[in-house]
Amino acid sequence: LSAAGIPWSVLRNYSSASAKEKARRNAICERTELLEVLKARAKQLQASNVPEVTVNKVELAPLGNDKYQDPLRKVVAPGAAEEQPAPRGRDESPARPSSWVEKLKKEMYIRQLKVERKLSIAASQLAREGQAKAKPKAKAKPKAKAKPKAKAKPKAKAKAKAKAKPKAKAKAKAKAKKSQKSLKSPEAPKAPKAKVAAAWSQSHAGPHGLYACRKPRVAAVKEGAKAQWPRRVLEHKDSSQYKILQQTIQSSLECFLFLQQPEEAERFLLLYHSSPVKRRLLSVNAYNIVMRSWARKGCLQRINQLFSMLESVGLRPSLDSYAAALECMGRNQSSTKAVWRCVQQLKNDGFHVDELFQKCLFEEDEKEKVLRAIRIVQPNYQLPPPPKPQTCKSSLLQDFYSKEKMVPYPKLDFTVQELQERFQQQLEMELDNTVTIESVESTKPLTPQAIKARKLLATLRSQWHDSILQALQKSKCSMSKLKTVSGYNILYPYLCLMPDEEYVGIMLQILNTLSPQGESLAVLARELGSKIYNRYITQRKLRSRQLEKVQEVYEEYIHLLAKDSQPDKYLPREYWEKLVAEAGFGPSLNLKDCSWPYMLLMRLGMHMLELLVQAVKVPRNVLNPHLEPRFIPVLYHVYSFHSSWQVGLIKPHPIFSQIVSDAAETLLTFNSSAIPMLCPPVPWTSPNFGAFVLNDTKLMRFVDGAVQHQLLLEQCPPVNLHPVLDALNQLGNCAWKINQPVLDIIISIFNDKGNEKLDIPPPISEAPRPPAAPSNSSTCNKSQKHELLLCKKKTAEMHSLRMDALYKLSIANYVRDKVFWFPHNMDFRGRTYPCPPYFNHLGNDVTRAILLFAEGKPLGPKGLDWLKIHLINLTGLKKKNALQERLEYANEIMEEILDSADHPLTGRKWWMNTDEPWQALACCMEIAKASRSPDPAAYISHFPVHQDGSCNGLQHYAALGRDLIGAMSVNLMPCSVPQDVYSAVAQQVEEFRKKDAEQGVKIAQVLQGFVSRKVVKQTVMTVVYGVTRYGGRLQMEKRLKEIDEFPEEYLWEASHYLVKQVFNGIKEMFSATRDIQNWLTESAKLIAQSGRTVEWVTPLGLPIVQPYYRSRSTVLNCSMQNLSVKTSNGNQKPDTVKQKNAFPPNFIHSLDSTHMMLTALHCLRQGLTFVSVHDCYWTHALTVDVMNQICRQQFVALHSEKILQDLSEFMLEKYCSPGRETRALWQKKLMEQLSNVPKTGKFNLKKVMDSTYFFS
């Protein structure tokens, strides 16, 4: 989603004019009708080659009652676009002077009245002619809903004739008649298609940003997308726009099913079915949903009608169609003959009765009813046995999955009873959807001012609650009236899914969390839409009784994990699948796909946001009694700029921010999915099921609106995903607890003005004060303005950092006495992440320091040494020294370590001067406790010890290329001290510099003494992840800026010189790495140029697709502003540059995630606790050695596979398959490129097994 709005050039007329209007009227959020008329006219003049009458007919309808209309641009533009080669120019007219503005307003009103009269006459004549096909036109009259569509096509045709000034009424009539014909004529079905497409505001916003527009009051969906676009959409059934339209229709039908309104569902279906053009958007699924809603009511006759409708449009019934028919018969106890006929037809269509139970998803008692129907004709019919579980065949995991080597799953330190109680707590939390917790600031004493502000806020909130409720009900009322007139309002069913109170609650929650700096419209709309969707899913799970089933299965599943039950040789996924198969009856655990298209979420969110902005007002004199007591809006819609993009923001009024700040409320409300789980997560068993009990979680995170990943995962054979699912389950099953002493110290500093050095953000009260403005404002010079701007920026940054820390610490404090779990999912490359977003072990130093494993293990003989080495690693002091030297150093400074542990804030504070101060302090405390215990080896430690990969990306490259020099510099070779690749590159660069300096290169001489490890580190690290010379230069510049002595005037030249030398240095040291990187880049470039996206499969079987397309913004037209929403669509052309540049780093990321997952699975087999932060692996001090061994074994095993060979073969098959006799030139080129796999060097991979510093 682009939070960016619409380019400034396109929107100039919006905001410049509206700013004048604001200034004139002093009403910041309310735009006036005149302004909209003005905009419409401006658009009309820009598209001057469109006949005026046509234009005016279109724009006329909304004028009467619509404040925010922007009626023209959408309909004029297609007509204009057809003739103009460079459509951009239309939108980029210069701003015009205000006298022009005044003239225009007058002219518009007069013209408006004239045209209104002409049109009403023309329309009434048409109504009299009353042909069946004229229905949409007649229907739309009262709300002007269909007028734009009727015009979309004729405009192009009328153009030739109407270039003169068509003023006579006769012409207007003729044109209106013609539009009727063109609606009917087979050769021009564009207009109705336009109607379909734009109804969902999927208007084609390609290079010339066309807009469809929605009326705010009744929120009627206006149509009028580019005339040719819908035809393309309807012809390309694979296009993702087409899929989105289909999905929107289906999700609306699902709403009616949920609301138990089969009549409405059928009526909605008929709107599409009855139009030859629009019915192409209906898939069998759409008809099936309506059948299911009738089946619940037992109306067999209606289902039979739907079957004949299917037949009439040439669609074949699917299994789901028969399931619905049989369910209905089961409810009615239909006659044997009827059931027999249905079963016969099912078989004639090539299905088998067993497939109903193997492939269909059921809700509530549907499964039982289908079975009952079948037993009417086959009394002894039994459910088919569940399919045999398949075993993953990956060569990397033969041992892991072999039944002979299976070991019982490790137990948690909880009884069945305790786990059941925890499950109930988690369930209650998710059913509530939100959790309200005490903030860590709540310990501060209450001031009289705060008490007063809280009272005021409570009063205002109750008023706002009522006014939002009223606004919502009013908007629903006008929508429900609308549907009788002109088809349907798309949003109406979505506003009926829950009690009105719930919608109001969601809106108030957004209001309460809005920052004083405001938030972009797009972000707020997405959040509102998602919250409603999540509540709906929760309700569906309850309604379909899916939750009951999950509860039953979970209560059995606990036995695998509880310490007081029999050990079982199953993995969590296998055990869950076994229990589900045994449960047999009841609803399916996966809901039928009911996800809402992204554009629909955004549209719904925008509607809620508009209601919120309209309804929430505050008395102007609430803080200052001397002002007049009129009501002003609490929220304002303003524009800001992000580079050349204009972004709409919603900002709270300073009065509201002041009250909230004074009230200093100490309660925070989070979505239940933001809190760690209080029971072990539900194991992942498929791409759609796992993690939370109720909250909908996707297995793979992706950019908003992208559907490719999910489709790829669903097409993938389930057995191929087992390793990935099992690894995620393993990470999610690690239990955690809070390190309370460290948390208390952090909270005390947080509440005492924070400490930037220790990464604890200070409160806003510590923000730099802006300079005092001179009494005469005109003397405010440039530097003062700049300073003021910097102060504002700093304050905004401080606010966001402070809130982030407040959230993390408050959640940690909330679970301080609990054991909790982090369910995991992954990104499209397979890298894993905890689902709760704020507080987790991927966080910064502060959050990691307050986490401990809930399970304790004795330190064992070497555990204390590992704790000491870990501490020295955290300080960053002895990176180049051997482990033994680090250990000796720790023993030397034991006094400092114990002092830090005993007197963290009052002692010598050694821990504060380390790289990771808080983790260092936590480690000091652990070492102190262990070393003081009677037998350190028996001391039970919960402390995670980390082992970090040494420049992990380069390690994978060096192993892929068997690159000897590269392998040595990233510690794949055994060595007595750790090799430091960054220092090695710095050394190499220094040699280049010396040579150049001797030859008199000025910049090389300037850089003498400045080339250090620190300067080159970031660039070296990111080279493997695809950093370009441009990005590298910026990194270098930043590092050089940090050196006070470096002459500033040479920054640009020096960074330019250095980045060139770093790239040369890496080329020399890692020759094979550069070859592989170039091969990957070149292959991706050719694939993308052929119009395909780059896909591959990881060695563990996870399918991956790069989601980079030439993003096309779809403009969502809302009354408040048009919102440009970037959607990532599979049918758009790939973004060649991104596909090419991102492939090497993404491929390496997919390998590092594979290595991590292999390590996780094999650690599980050895009974280790294991979690990871990408290439940093955590376990107990006792098991560090075992983990190190597994980690090396798995790296060797992974790279012993023919990774590049397999990649080449996969891609040759995918992109160059010998289907065609004559290969295109690009295919030959690509085949040549892919077949030419880089040669590998002489490095012996087995050496990694003995390398101490590979991970250390």
Enzyme catalytic residues: 948, 1017, 1175
Please state, as a whole number, how many other Cβ atoms lie within 10 Å of the Cβ of residue 386: 14
> Do residues 1229 and 1086 lie in contact, with contact meaning Cβ atoms separated by under 8 Å?
yes
Closest CA to 1105 of 581, 714, 670: 714
Angle between helices 1071-1089 and 1051-1069 (to 10 degrees): 100
Beta pairing partners, 688? none
Quick one: which H or E segment has residue 736?
Answer: strand 735-738
Q: Name the token pair of 445.
A: 């004493």
**SS3 of residue 392 by DSSP:** coil
Distance CA 121, CA 1094 (A): 58
Angle between helices 336-348 and 366-377 (to 10 degrees): 100
Q: What are phi and psi of 308, to 5 degrees?
A: -70, -30
Distance CA 1245, CA 1256 (A): 18
Q: Name the token pair of 1238.
A: 């880089």
Looking up tokens 């791409």, which residue turns up? 687
Q: Any residues with CB less than 8 A from the CB of 1211 and at least 6 apart, and which?
A: 1083, 1087, 1096, 1234
Q: Name the token pair of 360.
A: 């269909």
Distance CA 75, CA 339 (A): 52
Please state, as a whole number, how many other Cβ atoms lie within 10 Å of the Cβ of residue 219: 25
Closest CA to 244 of 233, 257, 255: 233
Distance CA 318, CA 285 (A): 8
Distance CA 507, CA 604 (A): 12
Distance CA 918, CA 463 (A): 45
In degrees, to the nearest 5, what angle opens at C-alpha 971 toward C-alphas 967 and 974?
A: 100
Distance CA 1070, CA 1057 (A): 20
Quick one: which H or E segment has residue 1115?
Answer: strand 1112-1117
Q: Cα–Cα distances in Å, from 520 out to 517, 606, 636, 650? A: 10, 11, 11, 6
Looking up tokens 């023919």, which residue turns up? 1202
Q: Write 1225-1232 long-range contacts (CB < 8 A, 24+).
A: 1226/1086, 1226/1089, 1226/1090, 1227/1090, 1229/1086, 1230/1083, 1230/1086, 1230/1087, 1230/1090
